[in-house]
Structure 1
Amino acid sequence: MKEIFPDPIQKLPEADIPLDGIKAYLSQGKDHQILFMKFEKDVELPEHSHQSQWGIVLEGKIELVIDGERNIFEKGDRYFIPAGVKHHGKIFAGYTDITYFHQKDRYKVKSRC
C-alpha cells in the first residue's frame, strides 16, 4: 500500500502511544496536539476519558462507544468526543486518521532508544 502520509508528516516526531501495531506522528501546538495515526493490527480501546477529541477517518473503520452510544465510523466520517466523556471501542487493522486533541500533553514524543 502506498504511504498515506506525505514526507513532511512522516518527519514529525512519533507519539508514544501504549498500543500495539500503531504508528502515530505528533504535531504539537501550544494548547493542543494533532496526531496522524495508522494501525496495522486490530486494537481494543479500554474505557477512558480526557479533554475533547475530534477525528476524521482517512481509511478503514473504527467502532466507538461514546457516552454509552455505539457508533461505526468509516472513511470520510468525522467524530467528536466532548471533554470528560467516557468512551471505548475497537480500531480495525488498516485504520488511518487525523485526530485533534484539545490537550497539549495528551501524548509524549516517543524516545529513540
Structure 2
Amino acid sequence: MSLAEYFPEQIRELPAYEGKFDAFKLNAESCDVLFGIYPGGTVIEPHSHDTDNVGVITKGVLLLTMDGETQRIEAGEWYFVPAGKQHAAEFPEDTADIELWIRR
C-alpha cells in the first residue's frame, strides 16, 4: 500500500489541506482535524501556529524539536504543541498522523 492510500477511502475523499505537507482536512467550528502524510526525509523548518496542536502518529516516526530538545515520537504515541510555540519536525521514514488543530 502506498502512503497516499494509507487512510481509508472516506478520509481520502476529504478536501486536501493546502500547506507545507500533504493531508486531508476535516473542518469544524473550533477544531480542524488533519490526516497527515509525510514521505521519509520530509523536514519542516521552525514555525508556530495560532492553534494548540495535538496529534498521534499512526505510522512511522516524528522527530519533534521544541526549546532546543528533540523528542522521538513513534506510532501509537501522542504529542502536543501549544499555540505560539516555535517547533520543527522531521520524518526519517514514511509517516502518517492524525492532528487536531484546536482554536482557542
TM-score (structure 1 length as normaliser): 0.80
In the other structure, the counterpart of 2:18 is 16
In the other structure, the counterpart of 1:109 is none
Rounded Cα–Cα distance in structure 2 between residues aligned with 1:47 and 1:87? 5
Contact 1:31 1:102 in 2 (8 A): yes
Q: Which runs of 5+ in 1 are unaligned?
A: 105-113
Q: Which runs of 5+ in 2 are unaligned?
A: none
Distance 1:17 1:41, change over 3 A: farther
Rounded Cα–Cα distance in structure 1 between residues aligned with 2:92 and 2:15? 24
Rounded Cα–Cα distance in structure 1 between residues aligned with 2:41 and 2:34? 18
Counterpart of 2:62, as a letter, is I
Rounded Cα–Cα distance in structure 1 between residues aligned with 2:85 and 2:20? 21
Q: Percent identity?
A: 29
In the other structure, the counterpart of 1:28 is 27
CA shift for structure 1 position 103: 3.5
Counterpart of 1:17, as a letter, is G
Contact 1:53 1:80 in 2 (8 A): yes
In the other structure, the counterpart of 1:67 is 67
Tell me the SS of whatever aligns to 2:36: strand
Give structure 1 regions of 4+ aligned residues with deviation exceeding 2 angstroms: none
Tell me the SS of whatever aligns to 1:15: coil
Q: State how many pairs are aligned.
A: 101
Rounded Cα–Cα distance in structure 2 between residues aligned with 1:81 and 1:18? 17
Tell me the SS of whatever aligns to 2:97: strand
Matched, 1:5 2:4: no
Contact 2:39 2:91 in 1 (8 A): no
